Amino acid sequence: MRDVSEQRIREEQPPVQDCWNQHGIWGEGKERCPRLAELGHCRNCPVYSHTGRRLLERPIDDGDRVEWTSSFARPPEKKITTIRSAFIFRAGGEWLGLPAGLIQEVVDMGKIHSLPHKSNNVLRGLVNIRGKLEICFSIGAVLGIDRFEKPKTWQRYLSPERLVVAARNGQRIVFPVSEVYGTFRYAEGMLQQLPITVSGSKAAFSKGILCVEDFEVGFLNDKILFDTLMRYL
């Protein structure tokens, strides 16, 4: 009975007289509504307001009712947010990050022993890590970072130089860092694209930018970094 009544109401509804599209503010014809000069705009006209209320109060047709019922009956989609961890450190004047899962340990700075006819700015030499000699690289040299550039630093996280041991797919490296921030957890969507002003080595080795507190951290592409360092052996 209700559906029949609504159908009859819809059929009895007079057609919408959209005078605002014919002679009003949106009309393109030469003839203009005489009240337009007085009201300034069609939205100030009672005819426009009344017609709008009619459209909002008109009965819902069967198709819309089914569609809306189906839409509201569906449970809300659960958004799965992937949380990752980055190891944040400073090399010279730049704050950088690597996937935290690659970091095996952080130890006190030790003496770096140069390799005869082999050592250079990138391949620094050998270091003793718990009684085992490891190859030591300079990430700053690979990225072209000025080691004497005055850095921006977190005063409460200020730490001395350290040696970081990292491994990826069986490849193990050690590299000195100027300062360690530690681990930072971030949602996948927090990794921002590199600014177009970043170019050269920094752009080639970076996946994007992480904002850690009020710092911008260059998140490194670990695959490209490791592959590049291995070529210096």
pLDDT digits 0-9 by tens, 185-217: 999 888 888 776 555 566 788 899 999 888 889
Q: Which residue has the higher pLDDT, 92 or 119?
A: 92
| C-alpha span between 168 and 172 (Å, rounded) | 7
Q: How many angstroms separate the Cα of 15 from the Cα of each of 7, 19, 55, 116, 121?
A: 15, 12, 11, 93, 82
DSSP per-residue letters across 120-174: -SSEEEEEEETTEEEEEE-HHHHHT--TTSPPP--GGG----EEEEEEETTEEEE
pLDDT score for 184: 94
pLDDT of amino acid 70:
84
Q: Which two tokens stand for residue 52?
A: 């709008």
Q: Which two tokens stand for residue 226?
A: 């490791």
Residue 53: half-sphere exposure toward Cβ, Cα within 13 Å: 5
Q: Considering the domain delimited by 83-230, tell me its CATH architecture.
A: Beta Barrel (2.40)
Question: Residue 36: its pLDDT value, please?
Answer: 76
Helix (H, G, I), strand (E, B) or coil at 101: helix
Q: Where are the domains of the chain?
A: 2-73, 83-230
Question: What would the pLDDT profile of 21-75 be if each residue is shown by its tens digit?
Answer: 777 777 777 778 888 778 778 888 888 888 878 777 777 777 777 888 888 888 8
The most confident of 6-15, 137-146, 152-161, by mean pLDDT: 137-146
Residue predicted with more confidence, 201 or 89? 89
Better pLDDT: 218 or 159: 218
Cβ contact 136:112 at 8 Å? yes
Q: Quote the pLDDT of residue 69.
A: 84
Q: 220 pLDDT exceeds 70?
A: yes
